[in-house]
């Protein structure tokens, strides 16, 4: 088949995989190839069980695979034939040297740029999908355009706003698609080519165009604002626990003000995920490097509050269990950073499991999708941690149960059965406020939720 355009995506992860699957579904006239250096990951994309759990994704992949969607490890060949290259490689927080702990580690990005240059016989459009510090496109342009082949590359920013667990719905019906480019004639031409891809299914008014720096910065700022809302309501949850106010009622009351809005006001054990903390720290580092200390401090406090909220949850467990959890079995229901994903990156459950293991508790980790990854995350905890996919078995003989991920199935558990199998007195800590606390208290549990007055039988 003759395809109108050949699109390559470098990086077959949580961003590259779903995004390209959706483009393939919506643009049958384009050939989409997704490459990755991780051979096992590519084999999984080509096999019966795709490497990430994302509702609805498997079906899209199955429909498009080997029609106009291809997964391969041959990065060089992919680059050679592509007209447009999306780059969705990981940009973790730098762990060494200048900016360690805050700045983005751009080594994978730079390697990719050099590889693109080495394998290109014609100029191409390069699209940043990974979240990058503002002005990264400039560095990429320098590497790509300082070539002696006379080739010209346009570097665009098209940040991804999908959230895990709802990736397919977010991609199918995005609030907006943002495409930033240089405002030169070549830049605007390249911008139009990327607009044309999304215009296959996204209403034109939802495709926002901007300069490349605004697009890069908007991704960091969107995540910073979302995370800030969670930290703001979490800060208020602590105050509610002291004052007999109920954080759910407060969130509802303020969220009905259309200027505030109802979303992202769910108090929780803390936010996790690969983006929020990393992107805010990245923003903080950029502000610091421009001498904007107050701005940097303002945003850093969002991350600090989040770390505090997670530690506070561990403290609540410890103090309610009579200040010692040593040798006590504590079941953690949920390990993923949110429901409907197996992803555990920056999951608050990691902090909670580690905090309890430090106190020598016997931690039992349960999750419908994330147990394999949890075993990797916690492998150094040795005998302080066990893993059990079945929530009922996880709770057997436990002194306490803590809900850490808002999986739907946890709402429907048979809590009479759980209570009967636990040690008395039984404690329940709802880190996601998904359960009926009064009903559980009436059954006999001592219930501690986020931002609510504890319901204790003592
Ligand atoms: C986020 C952004 O939403 C998305 O646009 C961006 O592309 C990537 O980063 P994601 O990390 O997948 O997406 O998940 P998100 O739904 O934003 O949740 C992040 C964390 O905040 C989760 O741990 C979630 O449980 C927590 N959260 C969210 C709350 O604790 N309370 C809320 O009200 C909302
Ligand atoms: P994200 O959540 O941003 O998608 P992931 O870590 O899930 O992040 O995916 C990034 C992918 O990029 C990984 O599968 C990794 O192997 C891949 N990757 C990193 N560097 C390169 C590279 N130079 N060439 C090809 N793939 C790469």
Which string of DSSP letters, residue by residue, matches 226-259?
HHHHHHHHHHHHHHHHHHT--HHHHHHHHHTSTT
User: Does ligand 2 come within 6 angstroms of the Cβ of 452?
Assistant: no
Q: Distance between CA atoms of 158 and 277, rounded to whole angstroms?
A: 20
Q: If you average pLDDT over residues 67-77, what whole number do you get?
A: 98
Fold of 213-458: Rossmann fold (3.40.50)
Which one is catalytic: 27, 240, 275, 395?
275
Pairing of strands 177-181, 207-211: parallel
Task: Please confirm, yes or no, whether 275 is among the known catalytic residues.
Answer: yes
Mean pLDDT lowest among 40-44, 71-75, 89-93, 372-376: 89-93
Whose CA is closest to 367, among 338, 399, 397, 398? Answer: 338
Q: Which atom of ligand 2 is nearest to the CA of 89?
A: 12
pLDDT, one tens digit per residue, over 402-452 is 999 999 999 999 999 999 999 999 999 999 999 999 999 999 999 999 999
Confidence band of 357 (pLDDT split at 50, 70, 90): very high
pLDDT beyond 90 at 147: no
User: Does ligand 2 come within 6 angstroms of the Cβ of 18?
Assistant: no
Q: Distance between CA atoms of 6 and 86, rounded to whole angstroms?
A: 11
Contact 87/42 with Cβ under 8 angstroms? Answer: no
Sorted by sequence, the CB contacts under 8 Å of residue 269 that are 6+ apart come out as: 309, 310, 313, 348, 349, 352, 404, 431, 432, 450
Domain with CATH 3.40.50.720 in the chain: 5-202, 213-458
Q: By alpha-carbon position, which residue is closest to atom 14 of ligand 1?
A: 163
User: Does ligand 1 come within 6 angstroms of the Cβ of 163?
Assistant: yes
Can you give the length of the chain in residues? 458
What local confidence, expressed as pLDDT, does residue 103 receive? 79
Q: If you average pLDDT over residues 219-232, what whole number do you get?
A: 97
pLDDT, one tens digit per residue, over 270-302 is 999 999 999 999 999 999 999 999 999 999 999
Radius of gyration of the chain (CA): 24
Fold of 5-202: Rossmann fold (3.40.50)
Q: Distance between CA atoms of 35 and 17, rounded to whole angstroms?
A: 10
Task: Collapse the DSSP code of 33 into the 3-class scheme (helix H, G, I; strand E, B; otherwise coil) and give the result.
Answer: strand
User: Does ligand 1 come within 6 angstroms of the Cβ of 264?
Assistant: yes
Q: If you average pLDDT over residues 29-53, what whole number do you get?
A: 97
Q: Look at phi and psi of residue 432 and say left if phi exceeds 0, alpha if psi is from -120 to 50, else beta.
A: alpha
- Over pLDDT 70: what percentage of the chain? 100
């Amino acid at each position: 088949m003759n395809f109108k355009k050949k699109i390559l995506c470098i990086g077959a992860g949580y961003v590259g995989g779903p995004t390209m699957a959706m483009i393939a579904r919506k643009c049958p006239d384009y050939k989409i190839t997704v490459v990755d250096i991780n051979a096992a990951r590519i084999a999984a994309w080509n096999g019966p069980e795709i490497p990430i759990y994302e509702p609805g994704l498997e079906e899209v992949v199955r429909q498009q695979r080997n029609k106009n969607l291809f997964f391969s490890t041959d990065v060089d060949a992919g680059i050679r034939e592509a007209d447009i290259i999306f780059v969705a490689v990981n940009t973790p927080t730098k762990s060494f040297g200048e900016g360690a702990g805050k700045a983005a580690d751009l080594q994978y990005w730079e390697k990719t740029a050099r590889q693109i240059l080495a394998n290109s016989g014609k100029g191409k459009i390069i699209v940043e999908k990974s979240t990058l510090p503002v002005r990264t496109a400039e560095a990429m342009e320098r590497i790509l355009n300082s070539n002696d082949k006379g080739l010209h590359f346009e570097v665009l920013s098209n940040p991804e706003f999908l959230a895990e667990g709802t990736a397919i719905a977010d991609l199918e019906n995005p609030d907006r698609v943002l495409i930033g480019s240089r405002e030169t004639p070549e830049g605007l031409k390249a911008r139009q080519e990327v607009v044309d891809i999304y215009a296959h299914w996204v209403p034109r008014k939802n495709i926002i165009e901007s300069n490349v720096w605004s697009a890069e910065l908007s991704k960091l700022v969107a995540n910073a604002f979302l995370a800030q809302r969670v930290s703001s309501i979490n800060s208020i949850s602590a105050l509610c626990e002291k004052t007999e106010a109920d954080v759910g009622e407060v969130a509802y009351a303020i969220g009905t003000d259309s200027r505030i809005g109802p979303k992202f006001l769910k108090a929780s054990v803390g936010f996790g995920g690969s983006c929020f903390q990393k992107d805010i720290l990245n923003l903080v580092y950029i502000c610091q490097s421009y001498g904007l200390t107050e701005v940097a401090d303002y945003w850093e406090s969002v991350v600090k509050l989040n770390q505090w909220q997670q530690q506070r949850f561990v403290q609540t467990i410890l103090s309610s269990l009579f200040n010692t959890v040593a040798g006590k079995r504590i079941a953690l229901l949920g390990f993923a950073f949110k429901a409907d994903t197996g992803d555990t990156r920056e999951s608050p459950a990691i902090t909670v499991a580690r905090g309890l293991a430090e106190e020598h508790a016997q931690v039992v980790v349960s999750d419908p999708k994330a147990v394999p990854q949890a075993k990797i995350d916690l492998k150094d905890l040795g005998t302080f941690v066990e893993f059990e996919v079945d929530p009922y078995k996880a709770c057997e003989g436990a002194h306490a149960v803590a809900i850490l991920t808002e999986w739907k199935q946890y709402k429907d558990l048979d809590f009479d059965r759980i209570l009967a199998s636990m040690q008395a007195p039984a404690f329940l800590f709802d880190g996601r406020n998904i359960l009926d606390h009064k009903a559980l208290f009436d059954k006999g549990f001592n219930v501690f939720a986020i931002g609510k007055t504890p319901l204790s039988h003592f």
